Amino acid sequence: MPVREHDLREIREAVAKLCATFPMEYWRKADRERRYPAEFVRALTEAGWLSCLIPEEYGGAGLPLTAAAAILEEVQKSGANGAACHAQMYTMGTVLRHCSEAQKKKYLPKIAKGELRLQAFGITEPGAGTDTSAIRTTAVRKGDRYVVDGQKVWTSRAEHSDLMLLFARTAPRDKVQKKTDGMSVFLVDMKAALGKGLTIRPIRTMINHATTEVFFDKLEVPAENLVGEEGKGFRYILDGMNAERILIGAECVGDARWFIAKATAYANERQVFGRPIGQNQGVQFPIARAYMATEAAALMVERAAQLYESNEPCGPESNMAKQLAAEASWQAGDMCLQTHGGFGFAEEYDVERKFRETRLYQIAPISTNLVLCYLAEHVLHLPRSY
């Protein structure tokens, strides 16, 4: 059921009010120490925002994707970083549409209550990258269990998650008709698996993203944790990927709006040569251009979310929403840093932190080039380039 506009306003206002209780110093300190913002994640969980997509019968709010997008946009717009917890929303694209009723009853109520976190999505591998069909992590059926061997990389929040959605090959690539066949999705109990075939190794990056690589060495996963049918996993994760692109797009819109507000305020306050710098067109025009790009991207995010909610094909729209929003946030971030001049590099202004954080989305969850390739081939019907 669509969320009415006044309902979205109420959601936005409530999320903004919660975020305001976490001042910018909280985020500076977390970034400085590379610390997971556990208090913030707990507050969002207790307020019910991280379980917004979980149906009411499992303890959630049963809201549509547009509401989840509004929540994450407001988080970013406040100057916070929703990357600490956004996976609990976008993994629902796979879980709600493809998990069995038994799996939903087992996990969703505990996730909704905050007793369990589903924050890890194990898909990318060092040797595969965006060529998902080339993954080498295997899951071999042995009786009532699957034995998993392999490695994942850029698996964010693995150290802070109880459950992982794991993507693995259950049939060799050379034994299937299509290269996207023979891959399956599993729900992995990470706490039970740690030290028993599962190893997590942190990766220090330019942003505080709780990023890790994960190793599987004969990890046993109960067969009942298989999501849907064996070998059909690629189709299942597409639902998660489309949701992820839309929600990341909403986050980027939030980032862009934070940058624009920050730059506008500074341009009005900062005096040089006896006048506010915002009086100069050389400062005004980049802010105005960033504003236009952001508003256009926001419309595409809204359009993609509406299609997703209606169970209509939304691959092109989801990819365009993510890419246009990522470009808008980076344009706004670059503009904001330039507007602040040297002060933009100072930690206390928060611009440099947000500048680093929003740059990620030119690369993740899918790179610019792959979005362009997808549109060229599947929308414009140009020859496949890879």
Catalytic residue list? 244
Cis ω on the peptide bond leading into residue 365 (within 30° of 0)? yes
**Two structure tokens written together for 203:** 């990766």
Q: For residues 361 and 253, is the Cβ–Cβ distance under 8 A? A: no
DSSP per position, 40-98: HHHHHHHTTSTTTTS-GGGTS----HHHHHHHHHHHHHTT--GGGTTHHHHTHHHHHHH
State phi, psi for 346 to the nearest 5 degrees: -85, 135
For residue 141, the SS3 value is: strand
Contacts of 180 (CB under 8 A, 6+ apart): 132, 133, 234, 235
Bridge partners for 222 per DSSP: 145
- Three-state SS annotation for 69-80: HHHHHHHHHCCC
Bridge partners for 307 per DSSP: none
CA distance 53 to 73: 15
> How do beta strands 138-142 and 118-122 pair?
unpaired
